[in-house]
Structure 1
Amino acid sequence: SIAHKVHLDATVSFMESEGTLTLPVGEHSTLYLSGRGSYLNLLYGNLLEIDEMKLRYGLQDYNLTFVQQAGAHDKIRLSLYHGQDRMNLLQEDFADENKLNWQNTAAALHWQHHSSRFILQQNATFSRYRNTLDMGISSVSLNLSSGITQAGYAARLEWTRGNLQWNGGVEYNYYHFRPMQFEVSGSFIENETPKFLEDAHEANAYLQADISIRPSWSVLGGLRLSSYHSHGRSFISPDPRITLNYHPSSSHTLSVHYGLYHQYLHQMSVSNGGLPVDYWTSSSPSVCPQQAHSIALGYYFRSQKGMMEISAEVYYKKLSHQHEYSGSILDFFTQVYHIENNMIHGKGYNYGLNLMLKKNRGKLSGWVSYAIGSSRRRFPELSPTEWFNSTFDRLHDLSVVANYRFNRHWSLGGDFVYASGTPYTKAKSVYVINNNIVSEYGKYNGANLPSTHRMDIALTYRFSPRGHREQSLNLSIYNLYARRNVLFSYLGFQEENFGYKHVYSLCRMLPSIGYTLKF
């Protein structure tokens, strides 16, 4: 939106600081500057020393948005973003050091033209994502790196004719991949992947119509035609979608949806111990696009004054051409290793139930969401008949967020989250043969990390406003009951034995005081 006054919204606390500065630039333009950074280890470094391991984590991100009202019917928006996360885990006794680094840069230029007959939107986008892991175990070091760069253009047109609401558009994206590459060096091994890059082109065109059949019935139907070209091969996929909505009253909606979807980019997880190291790769002559037939039945309720919202959805997805990485980080230490040889292909299905209850007004506000679901896969390379849990399977996922306002000065808020543990393939034994590390695994995705849960609370005092200035103090406690949640597991030394070690998240109670200023 276009602002006409300078505005600052900033918060400073023991763990991180963030702020947004709004600057009017002339009568029809506004510049928004925002940033966030954490300095958790300055005050809580000793609390993050777990099992003789020093955990260091930090993040920072920056945003710049420029909005221009170019006439009565046109608006232009330019957005820039850069963010970086770093994590360092050091165990000095065994010279064991592990570093994770994520970087993301994005830019977008958006133009919207609004007239009495139609709305036209155009977007030009660019993004670059990088992910690196450095591991050191005694005299051996491992480096994993991957990345993906995207540049694209999209145009969307919306218009209404009679009882039909239409929208259609075209999209084009160029992708530049750097799939997972590794380098291993040590006293008994030198190994690395050959350096290679991938390029791909994706183009889409779609048309969709929202038809009011009767006052209580409507149909939303459309067709998307996609084309993808990579490695000298082209894929063309028509994806039909249809949704039938029934409105017995203004507060209730029932819907039935069917859609066919194709996915040309594939996210692969390298670590079978829950380590957050993923990479992106492209469809190719040997890797077919993923396909999903999706069916969903939904219900939505919103009270007349918008105080309460209830939603429920049950879904089923039949999946074809599914791909996962079946190896382990230990496999990188063999001299005959090739990453493409550890991709497995098969089919699968997902099903589940999503529930949400939301209260928007009153002294007590907040929401509760719960999801129960299953994600199963079958890969002939592992077993022609046996089904396995997907790497991204999560049986239970619960979130509770609440805020109670006692009066105009005091309020108490909190949240509770619970999630089932991530599946992974656990190594049963590890040994060295002819200077090569060889690992023997159990059932594929047959083990799970422990379930995670955590509660946070915050007490806020708002000072009486003075002019256009608002101030508040916030006392918060992260992880109220000091739950030790497992972030991921990896293979390493523990009590002179080589085996799985848990790395815990910020597993102790962390109090913080924050000050917020708005003017």
Structure 2
Amino acid sequence: MAVLPGLPAAAQLPPIVDTVSRSVIVERVYNKPMVINSKGISGTVNTDKIAAVPSFLGNADPIRFVRLLPSVQMNTEIEAGIYMQGSEHSHTLVSQAGVPIYGVSHLLGLFSVFNTSHYQGMQYSTTSRQETRMGGMVNMELPDTVAKHWGGDFSLGLLNAQGTLDIPLGASSLKVSARRTYVNLLYGSILKYADFPIRYGFTDANVTWTWKPGRRDKIWADFFACLDDGRVSGATIKTLNARWYNALGAVHWNHYFPEATMKQSAYASTYGMKAEIDAFNIYGQMPSFIRDYGYRNTVQWKDWEFGARYSYYDIQPQNPSSRGHIQDSGLTGNVPRQNAMEAVLSAQYSRILGYWLQLKAGIGLNWYLSPEKRHYWGLTPEVELVADAESAGKFTLRYGLKRQNLFQVGLTNTGLPVEFWLPAGDLQAPQWSHNFSLAYNADFFENAWSVSAELYYKQLYNQLEFIGNIYEIYNGDYHLENSVLRGHGRAYGFNLMLQRNKGPLTGWISYSYAPSLRTFDAMDGFRDGAEYSSAHERLHELDVVATYDFGKWDVGGSLIVASGLPYTRPETFYLVANRLVCSYGKYNGERLPTYVRMDLSANWYIRKTPKGKTGLNLSIYNVMGIKNAVSYGIHINDDLKSYSFRPFDMTLGILPSIAFFHTF
């Protein structure tokens, strides 16, 4: 687990700061809520509260925290994606100081790549504004001020060790964080997927240098990297090795004019993986990567905000190769690398129309150059009308036309590292969508309670959904263009959240209703115009989160009850000349059982002062011991002569954990 170092008092802020950052800091210091929603299910997270919310084996995790919010549909053991309001997880922009990160999870989605203590805060929204993503956003905020004193924190648990150190350097400061897991030492014998034991480890590190050369400038550079190494073995799968990585480097410069603020960043961000599998006497590899080199600039002047963004993509789509087929027709790994570019110019105007009404309107001009050297142009208008009725609450009506030039598909469709990115082009034209929403926010009883609600509707165009399977690689007949469905879609629903903000008891109860439907081309048995559930559709989800502060103790609990995900059931399957042949029923016509999980945690503070904390974290993951099915698949029995179709579950059972933490 991680505990954040104390935030600086508002009075210590320099005289010239970014007004948005100042308001976020002041809210974080003086408000008790875990979540501060401002427009529907969008706002900021009080990151010093994350440690009190149960997570996997006591490891404080901002991404798993976000998955407890009502706008996010997925929260299972192996789910690494953030599906907001029926969109694909690739539609959600996950970033660090505005720089995109393309792989956000460790260990099958059980951990995120973010070391909580390194970050000042977290912002989330169901819309990504003028970014080239069609869904929401989650942004991790880096330190805003120069550290004046040494400080930091560290924790040591049964699962991992991690630490953060603040180093003052006069007009600048350095923040260094690192984390290393040793999950195999104690949990290796019980960590299984579909009865196959998992061997796993990861390392990640963050370095942020902040410099304020004068009253009107702030310059900072940050570096982030992580490396994962996993291995699964069993009777039918001899070995499955996967290694994947993230790396990011960025330089940021903010300049504060008397009446304007300019923010600019230059960055490089990369994500890649290499999987090797040995099964059925067949050996295969599945490498892929994405590299993003970009620049962004925003200028805020009075009621205006102007933006410019550019990205150059170097992408290797999944490039499988295999050998060992009876027919000696293995894959040769000849999928070429692809390069693409995109740029956006945008402007937004905000105007107060009266005592209680505010209008925001913006327009963006998008340009995209595909790998085939085709040019795509498009406008991205958006408008937002806010009506603040004070004690009666605030209403926000929003419309936006979104465009996106990147897809993410893969064998699992669950955000695991065997998913890969690819640019729009011959396979599918760029995506776009119409997004409508109506949000309501209100505080009651002197802000002790709050209600957040949001109705939404999205019409999605040029969608891809992956229907391939690992057996195509076994058989040597994998072709990406034959393994995807092309079509359109729509998503609609509502999110409701009742939150307790003040007092020793804080938390929320939330409910989501989120149909997500797709219509595919009339091919391969699909009826033209018929709608099918998307692979990540979760119709109903109930989340309960609560923490109670006893002073020397604080305790937390979370409960998730959600309808099962859809899947396609095979009607027949058999082996012909060592090739597995399957005949499937209706696409996504079946559903997994209801998902239920409860987690508990407690922090005991041996020392708790304004200068630091020392204590123990106790946590119990899956306290009810329910083995939730995460997918269905074909099981080939140990004798290699009989087969069955049954659920795969992540065999975790009840997992207790203890960790020591110290901040100074």
Contact 1:129–1:148 (CA under 8 A) maintained in structure 2? yes
- Match of 2:662? 517
Instruction: Find 1:37's aligned residue among 153, 177, 180.
Output: 180
Describe the shift of the 1:485–1:465 C-alpha distance in structure 2 as closer, same or farther (beyond 3 A). Answer: same
Q: Which has the higher helix share?
A: 2
Identify unmatched segments of 5+ residues in structure 2: 1-144
* Alpha-carbon distance in 2 for matches of 1:185, 1:70: 59
The 1:418–1:67 alpha-carbon spacing in structure 2 relative to 1, beyond 3 Å, is: farther
Moved more, 55-64 or 332-341: 332-341
Whichever residue aligns with residue 260 of structure 2, its letter is F
- Residue 176 of structure 1 corresponds to 314
1:95-494 → structure 2 map (5 Å cutoff) = 96-160=238-302, 165-188=303-326, 189=328, 190-230=330-370, 231-249=372-390, 252-271=393-412, 277-303=418-444, 306-380=447-521, 381=523, 382-406=526-550, 408-433=551-576, 436-465=579-608, 468-494=611-637
Which amino acid in structure 1 is aligned with residue 150 of structure 2?
V
Aligned residues: 512
Bigger shift: residues 358-367 or 480-489:
480-489
Q: Which moved more, 1:69-78 or 1:378-387?
A: 378-387
Judged with a 3 Å threshold, the aligned counterparts in structure 2 of structure 1 residues 36 and 275 are, in CA distance, closer, same or farther, namely closer
Task: Find the aligned partners of 2:203 and 2:250 in 1 and give their Cα distance.
Answer: 20
| SS of structure 2 residue aligned to 1:180 | coil
**CA positional deviation for 1:50:** 7.0
Q: Distance in 2 between matches of 1:273 and 1:261?
A: 24
> Where in structure 2 are the equivalents of 1:16-95 lying within 5 Å?
16-26=160-170, 28-48=171-191, 53-91=196-234, 93-94=235-236
Whether contact under 8 Å (1:352, 1:371) holds in the other structure is yes
Instruction: After superposing the two structures, state which structure 1 stretch, 287-296 or 331-340, moved more.
Output: 331-340
C-alpha deviation, 1:480, in angstroms:
0.8
- TM-score, normalized by length of structure 2? 0.73
1:272 touches 1:424 (CA, 8 Å); kept in 2? no
Displacement after TM superposition at 1:285 (Å): 4.0
Deviation at 1:147, TM superposition (A): 1.4
What secondary structure does 2:199 align onto? Answer: strand
- Looking at structure 2, the residues matched to 132 and 424 of structure 1 have their Cα atoms a distance apart, in angstroms, of 26
- How far residue 306 of structure 1 moved from its aligned partner, in angstroms, is 4.5
SS at match of 1:438: strand
Contact 2:567–2:592 under 8 Å retained in 1: yes
Q: 1:281 deviation in Å?
A: 1.2
Using the alignment, how far apart are the partners of 1:431 and 1:273 within structure 2?
Answer: 26
Give deviations 1:191-219, integer Å, cap 9, x for gaps.
23414100000000000011100010011
**2:415, 2:353 → 1: CA distance?**
49
**What displacement does 1:436 show?**
4.3
Contact kept in structure 2, 1:13 and 1:513, CA below 8 Å: yes
* 2: CA distance, partners of 1:135 / 1:449: 27
Instruction: Give the unaligned 5+ runs of structure 1.
Output: none
Q: For 1:462 and 1:158, how far apart are their aligned partners in 2?
A: 44
The two structures, once aligned, show a CA RMSD in angstroms of 2.3
Change (3 A) 1:302 1:20: farther
Greater shift in the superposed pair: 245-254 or 329-338: 329-338
Partners of 1:306 and 1:101 in 2: CA distance: 48
SS of 2:403's partner is: strand
**Residue 304 of structure 1: CA displacement?**
8.1
Tell me the SS of whatever aligns to 2:147. Answer: coil
- Separation (CA, whole Å) in 1 of partners of 2:201 and 2:596: 22
Partner in structure 1 of residue 159 of structure 2: 15
Distance 1:95 1:201 in 2: 40
Change (3 A) 1:432 1:138: closer
Partners of 1:394 and 1:276 in 2: CA distance: 22
How many angstroms does 1:506 deviate by?
Answer: 5.1
- Give the whole-Å Cα distance in 2 for the aligned partners of 1:327 and 1:365: 45
User: Mean Cα displacement is larger for which, 386-395 or 312-321?
Assistant: 386-395
What does residue 652 of structure 2 align with?
Answer: 507
Equivalent position amino acid for 2:573 in 1:
V
Where 1:2 maps in the other structure, the secondary structure is coil
Once the two structures are TM-superposed, the CA of residue 17 in structure 1 deviates from its matched residue by: 2.1
Once residues 355 and 59 of structure 1 are traced to their aligned partners in structure 2, the CA distance between those partners, rounded to angstroms, is 36
1:130: Cα distance to partner? Answer: 1.1
Cα contact 1:273–1:489 (8 A) shared by 2: no
Q: Distance in 2 between matches of 1:237 and 1:474?
A: 51
- For residues 219-256 of structure 1, what are the alpha-carbon distances to aligned partners after superposition, in whole Å with 9 as ceiling and x for unaligned? 11110110000111010010110011101116721011
Moved more, 386-395 or 149-158: 386-395
Checking the alignment, whether the CA contact within 8 Å between 1:101 and 1:133 is kept in structure 2 is yes
Residues 49-80 of structure 1: per-residue CA shift (max 9 Å, x gap): 57753122333211111111120011112111
Name the CA shift for 1:396/1:87 in 2 (closer, same or farther; >3 Å).
farther
**How far, CA to CA, are the matches of 2:406 and 2:414 in structure 1?**
23
Scaled by the length of structure 1, the TM-score of the pair is: 0.92
Deviation at 1:421, TM superposition (A): 3.0
Equivalent residue number for residue 150 of structure 2: 6
1: CA distance between counterparts of 2:579 and 2:567?
Answer: 23
Moved more, 323-332 or 13-22: 323-332
How far does residue 475 in structure 1 lie from its aligned partner after superposition? 1.6
Measured at CA, do residues 80 and 234 of structure 1 come closer, stay the same or move farther in structure 2, by a change above 3 Å? same
Instruction: Please say which of residues 34-43 and 223-232 is displaced more in the overlay.
Output: 34-43
Bigger mean CA deviation after superposition, 273-282 or 81-90 = 273-282
Contact 1:272/1:426 (8 A) holds in 2: no
Amino acid at match of 1:517: H
Q: Percent identity?
A: 31
Tell me how far apart the structure 1 counterparts of residues 192 and 452 of structure 2 sit (CA, whole Å): 43
Bigger relative contact order (CA 8 A; separation at least 6): 2
Q: Which has the larger radius of gyration?
A: 1
Superposed displacement of residue 517, structure 1? 0.7
SS at match of 1:353: strand
Name the CA distance, whole Å, in 2 between partners of 1:426 and 1:343: 17
Per-residue CA deviation, residues 161-199 of structure 1 (Å, 9 max, x unaligned), is xxxx11011000001111111112225242234141000
Counterpart secondary structure, 1:315: strand
Letter in 2 for 1:109: V
CA distance in 2, matches of 1:173, 1:453: 41
Partners of 2:161 and 2:592 lie apart in 1 by 32
CA contact (8 A) 2:229 2:241 kept: yes
1:266 Cα deviation from its structure 2 partner = 1.0
Deviates more, 1:191-200 or 1:68-77: 191-200
SS in 2 for 1:70: strand
Deviation of residue 305 (structure 1)?
A: 5.5
Which residue number corresponds to residue 15 of structure 2?
none
What is the identity, as a one-letter code, of the residue corresponding to 2:336? F
Cα gap change, 1:103/1:192 in structure 2, threshold over 3 Å: closer, same or farther?
A: same
1:484-515 CA distances to partner (integer Å, 9 max, x unpaired)? 12344544412542344644335211111111
Give SS of 1:445's match: coil
Q: Structure 2 CA distance, aligned partners of 1:386 and 1:2?
A: 57
Cα separation, partners in 2 of 1:434 and 1:505, compared to 1, 3 Å:
closer
Q: What is the Cα deviation at residue 159 of structure 1?
A: 1.1
Structure 2: distance between partners of 1:109 and 1:119? 17
Looking at structure 2, the residues matched to 254 and 441 of structure 1 have their Cα atoms a distance apart, in angstroms, of 46
Deviation larger for 288-297 or 502-511: 502-511
